Amino acid sequence: MSDIIRYKHIGFLKFAVLLVMIFAVIISVCPVFAQAEESGNELTPVFDTDSIFNDYEKIIYGFDDIESLKADFENPENLPSLIVNGTQISIKDKGNYNVIIFGDADCDGIIDARDAVLAQCFTEGMLTPEKHQEYAADCNHDGKTDKNDVYLMQMSGVFTAEINQKEFYKVPESDTLVVYFSATSTTKTLAEYAAEYLNADIYSITPEVPYSAEDIAYYTNCRADREQSDPTARPQIKDLPLNINSYDTIILGYPIWHSQAPKIVYTFLESFDLTDKTILPFCTSHSSPLGSSAQNLHSAASSANWLAGMRFAAGTSSQTISDWLDENGIEPYQPQPENDRIINITVNGKEFKAELYECAAADEILEMLPMTINMSELNSNEKYYWLSKNLTVNNQRVNYINEGDLMIYSSNCLVLFYDSFSTSYSYTPIGRITDTSGLKNAVGTGSAAVTFSK
C-alpha cells in the first residue's frame, strides 16, 4: 500500500488531536523532552504556541531545531517555512479540525510520518506493550514495530489513536510516485501502465468537488472552461496526502484542457515542497501537442528538476509508455529478495542468523562480507569493532537496546549487543540476530572472534 493511500486514511481516523500544550506541561509529563534539554541536544521543545497559532483549534505538536524555531517565532512571517503541513482533517464523530503538523517529534533529525504518530499522541488510551502489535509505529526506525517503539511513545507522553499505525506507516517500497489527474480515464489508463511497469506507487488527484459531465463539456463555458481561463483558479483536492517526502521521482500525468494542464494539477504541485524531486510530465489530449503545458507547470514547483514531457494519444500501448520511461532513465523498482538480507554471524564458533535492515549502512556492511573481526568487550552488554571505513549513518536516539541488536556507533563502530537495556546514546540500527538463544554464552566475557558472512 502506498504512502499516499495511507495518508488518505488520516481523514477517517478516530482520534482527537491535542489542544495546544505549553512548555511547562510538556516538560512535566514528557521525560524525553527534558532529556533533549539536559543533554544539550539541539532538539528542544517548541513552546508558547498559543499566541502564534491561535487560529487553529487544535494543534499537532512537535519539535524542531531550536535555533530556527526561535528565529521563526521571533519573526512570525517566517512561520510558513516551519509548518510542514497545514491541513484540515476530518475526525469521525468529532468534526473538522484545523491542524498543523510540524517538527521532529521523535528527534531523529527528519520530519516524517513518524512524527505524525507522535503528534497523534494526545488521544485517548495509553499505549501498552500488549497493544503494540496493533497500534505502535516504528518510532525508532529500526525496521521493526515492537515494544521499544511503545516505550519510546510512552516516554514521549504518547497516547494512541484507534488506528492501525503499523499499516499506516509501512515504509514505501519504491521511490517513484505516479501522480495523475484524469476526468474521463484516458490519462488514468496510461498512468496505471507507468505504475505497473515501474512497480511504483500511484496517486490519483481527486477533486473535492467532482467534475460532472456538464462540468467538462468544453467550449460551453462549463466549469472546466472557466477554471482554465482564470489564472487564480485552484480547485481543491480531496484527501491530499500529508507529504510525499519519501519519493524522489514523480511521473505526472494530466489531460490537456485548452492547451494547458488542468488547474487542479497546479493545486497539487503547489501543495508540497518539491525541491530536488525529478518530475517527468506527460499528457493526453484529443489532438493538441504537449505545447507549453508542461513548461507552464514549472512555476508551481520551480525548485524541482523537470524533465521534458510527452503527449500521448488515447489508446497508447503499455509498451510505448514503458519505452518512454526507459528513454527518460526511470527504472522499474525491483524489490530485493528478503533472504538477501539474512546473514550468518559466527561468534566464537557458534552460528546465528541475523537480518539486516534496509538502510545504507547495512548495505555497506553487506558489501564488506565475508568479514572476520575481533570484537572488543564493553560494559558486559556489547562487543564492538572500529571498522576502517566510515559508513552512511543516520544516528538517532534508540532509547532501548535489545539483545542481538546490531548497530553502528559514531560512523564506523560496529556494535553487537548481547543484553537488553535502556540507553540515551544514539546509534544507527543496521540489523538484529533473529534468535539470540545462546548468544550471551557464545560471546564470553572478553573479546570475541566474530565472522559475518552471507
The residues of the shown chain that bind ligand FMN, judged by CB under 6 A, are 182-188, 216, 218, 224-225, 255-259, 284-288, 314
* 196 contact partners, CB below 8 Å, separation of at least 6: 318
For residue 284, give the C-alpha cell: 493526453
Please state the closest distance from residue 191 (CB atom) to ligand FMN, in A.
Answer: 9
Please state the closest distance from residue 184 (CB atom) to ligand FMN, in A.
Answer: 3
In the complex with ligand FMN, which residue's Cβ is closer, 282 or 306? 282
The DSSP result for 436-454, as a single string, is -TTHHHHH-SS-EEEEEE-
Contact between 103 and 112 under an 8 Å Cβ cutoff? The reply is no
In the complex with ligand FMN, which residue's Cβ is closer, 78 or 212? 212
In the complex with ligand FMN, which residue's Cβ is closer, 236 or 336? 236
Alpha helices per DSSP H over 217-282: 223-228, 263-270
Please state the closest distance from residue 299 (CB atom) to ligand FMN, in A.
Answer: 20
Please state the closest distance from residue 321 (CB atom) to ligand FMN, in A.
Answer: 14
Report the distance separating Cα 166 and Cα 158, nearest Å: 15
Report the distance separating Cα 316 and Cα 193, nearest Å: 10
Please state the closest distance from residue 17 (CB atom) to ligand FMN, in A.
Answer: 36
The DSSP result for 104-116, as a single string, is -TT-SSS-SHHHH
Place of cell 472552461: 225
Please state the closest distance from residue 328 (CB atom) to ligand FMN, in A.
Answer: 20
| 275 class by beta-carbon count within 10 Å (0-12 exposed, 13-18 middle, 19+ buried) | exposed
Contact between 181 and 268 under an 8 Å Cβ cutoff? The reply is yes
Report the distance separating Cα 453 and Cα 344, nearest Å: 5
In the complex with ligand FMN, which residue's Cβ is closer, 185 or 302? 185
Please state the closest distance from residue 285 (CB atom) to ligand FMN, in A.
Answer: 3
Contact between 302 and 273 under an 8 Å Cβ cutoff? The reply is no
In the complex with ligand FMN, which residue's Cβ is closer, 16 or 216? 216
In the complex with ligand FMN, which residue's Cβ is closer, 259 or 328? 259
In the complex with ligand FMN, which residue's Cβ is closer, 284 or 395? 284
